[in-house]
Amino acid sequence: MKTQAAVAFAAGKPLEIHSVDLEGPKAGEVLVEIKATGVCHTDAFTLSGDDPEGAFPAILGHEGAGLVVEVGPGVTSLKPGDHVIPLYTPECRECNFCLHPKTNLCQSIRSTQGQGLMPDGTSRFSLDGTPILHYMGCSTFSNYTVLPEIALAKIREDAPFEKVCYIGCGVTTGVGAVVFDAKVEPGSTVAVFGLGGIGLNVIQGARMVGADKIIGIDLNEDKQALATEFGMTDFINPSKVDDVVSAICDLTDGGVDYSFECIGNVKVMRQALECCHKGWGESYVIGVAGAGQEISTRPFQLVTGRSWKGSAFGGARGRTDVPKIVDWYMQGKIDIDQLITHTMPLQDINKAFDLMHQGKSIRSVILY
Ligand code: NAD
Ligand code: AHE
Ligand code: ZN
């Protein structure tokens, strides 16, 4: 079949809209009509050329929601008409990662996914006979896409696609890092570096679990008002203080219980670790840093009881946890609507990247 898609032909080049060829689902695969997709900073990161796994031409996008159109042989858990959210972190429930209680990083299809291919080592997309790569196993910047059954979470049918698509990455990453990975306790102190599409979800996750003090840190003061509405209690603009680590320690009697880096800046990752309380503070790296970047600190920071950790897709096991997060939204426990600051058709997708780079959007959502 033909599908309208935004194709990334090369690093640093705007996406181009094309009518692309899409093969139907093979064994264990599902054809999905994407109804809406968010544009995440990670899409921009890969398009920039900084992603060691970035390969072109590819169809980016990994934060979608849509409808099952057709299932391939052997698919048992989904049927045409089901509402689904694609999962860049699948959940096979069989590999040694899925069976381990301490990780959500299902590895059953990770190697082919990282090469932009389906599990059988081929692509379903092509243009004029030339294969086009998948991205993060999702390629939601295409109106129709094919995914493995294990990479789809079935969700309730009354949830609006144009809102819950954001649960496909940003909401789950931020809220989940607090709830599933850090397991922040009521009364905790929390620092959140970067108040964008991820950081604001960390803030609302911290509020949901009852954190007392939630300190937001961002260079862009325009982010302050919305962050306050989402639960931030204190704001620091690092360019207006001598030392952001000291400023946080002063606000918290020696450091926070938990910190989250939601930018992808290795210097900020160090600050996020060092503002943690001696003896017990935990810092979670969420931001994605470019090829060749490395983190550093004095080992004494760790010797004296701080921990440096990381969080991918918020520690969520997608097929199990994503439907629960959709429920939290539908029950009003978390807010998504205010974070979706812009919507646009696929034809205007490059504007979504411009708005992100200008710091003018939290999330742009493409409506098909
Ligand atoms: P975003 O662009 O919406 O937000 C980034 C924020 O950081 C902006 O508000 C910006 O003003 C602020 N900022 C930039 N430099 C800063 C600095 N030096 N000090 C303080 N603030 C600064 O991006 P996003 O969509 O929220 O994504 C954030 C990061 O998380 C990206 O690196 C993205 O790739 C990554 N990410 C990781 C996961 C995961 O599973 N680990 C999932 C999604 C996104
Ligand atoms: N490909 C990059 C790493 C990119 C990365 O860290 N991705 C996050 C999700 S970002 C979503 O917006 C992730 O889940 N990583 C785990 C994984 O298995 O990819 C690189 O550095 O090579
Ligand atoms: Zn993302």
Q: What is the DSSP code string of 85-140?
A: EE-SS---S-STTTTSTT-----TTHHHHHTT--TTS--SEEETTEEEB-STTT-T
User: Residue 311 Cα, ligand 2 centroid: separation in angstroms?
Assistant: 10
196 lines ligand 1 (CB under 6 A): yes
Residue 238 contacts residue 261 (beta carbons within 8 Å): no
Length of the chain: 368
* Of 29, 106, 140, 145, catalytic: 106
Mean pLDDT of the 298-322 span: 98
- Candidate of 42, 261, 295 to mutate for ligand 2, largest count of ligand atoms within 8 Å of Cβ: 42
Structure confidence at residue 132 as a pLDDT band (50, 70, 90) = very high
User: Tens of pLDDT along 234-257?
Assistant: 999 999 999 999 999 999 999 999
| Amino acid 3: pLDDT | 98
Nearest residue to 284 (alpha-carbon basis) of 320, 324, 318, 256: 256
Residue 298: active-site member? no
Task: Tell me how crowded residue 183 is: count the other CB atoms within 10 A of its CB.
Answer: 12
45: tokens are 């990161």
Catalytic (active site) residue 134: no
Distance (Å, rounded) from C-alpha 242 to C-alpha 221? 17
Active site residue 165: no
Residue type, 91: E
Tell how far CA 109 is from the center of its chain: 19
pLDDT, residue 8, reads 98
In the chain, the domains with their CATH numbers are 2-168+336-367 (3.90.180.10), 174-312 (3.40.50.720)
What pLDDT, on the 0 to 100 scale, is given for residue 56? Answer: 98
Options 18, 40, 233, 252, the catalytic residue: 40
Of the candidates 23, 92, 112, 343, the residue annotated as catalytic is 92
pTM above 0.90, yes or no: yes
pLDDT at 35: 98
**CB of 313 shorter than 6 A to ligand 2:** yes
**Is the Cβ atom of 234 under 6 angstroms away from ligand 2?**
no
* DSSP helix, strand, coil percent of the chain (3-state; round to 5): 30, 25, 45
The answer to whether 110 is a known catalytic residue is yes
3-state secondary structure of 148: strand
**Does residue 293 have its Cβ closer than 6 Å to ligand 1?**
no
Active site residue 40: yes
Whether 312 lines ligand 2, by a CB cut-off of 6 Å, is yes
Strand 307-310: give its sheet, edge to edge: 234-236, 213-217, 189-193, 258-261, 282-285, 307-310
Q: Which of 169, 249, 262, 275 is catalytic?
A: 169
Is 363 in the active site? yes
- For ligand 2, atom 11, the nearest C-alpha belongs to 42
Percentage above 90 pLDDT, the chain: 100
The CA 165 to ligand 3 mean position distance, Å, reads 11
Q: Name the catalytic one among 23, 103, 110, 342.
A: 110
Please confirm whether the linkage preceding 299 is cis (ω < 30° from 0).
no
With bands split at pLDDT 50, 70 and 90, how would you rate the model's confidence at 300? very high
Mutational pocket test of ligand 2: of 45, 47, 88, 285, the residue with most ligand atoms within 8 Å of the beta carbon? 88
pLDDT band for 316, please (50, 70, 90 cuts).
very high
Concerning whether 162 is annotated as a catalytic residue, the answer is no
Cα 239 to Cα 242: distance, rounded to the nearest angstrom: 8
Relative to the alpha carbon of 293, which ligand is closest? Answer: 2
| Residue of minimum CA distance from atom 6 in ligand 2 | 288
The pLDDT of residue 23 is 98
- Identify the pLDDT of residue 34: 98
Q: Is 45 in the pocket of ligand 1 (CB under 6 A)?
A: yes
Number of Cβ within a 10 Å radius of residue 220: 13
Annotated catalytic, 270?
no
Q: What are phi and psi of 341, to 5 degrees?
A: -85, -20
Q: Report pLDDT for 285.
A: 98
Q: What is the pLDDT of residues 58-68, one digit of tens each?
A: 999 999 999 99
Looking at residue 165, what is its pLDDT? 98
Q: Is 287 in the pocket of ligand 1 (CB under 6 A)?
A: yes
> Within 10 Å of residue 333's Cβ, how many Cβ atoms?
12
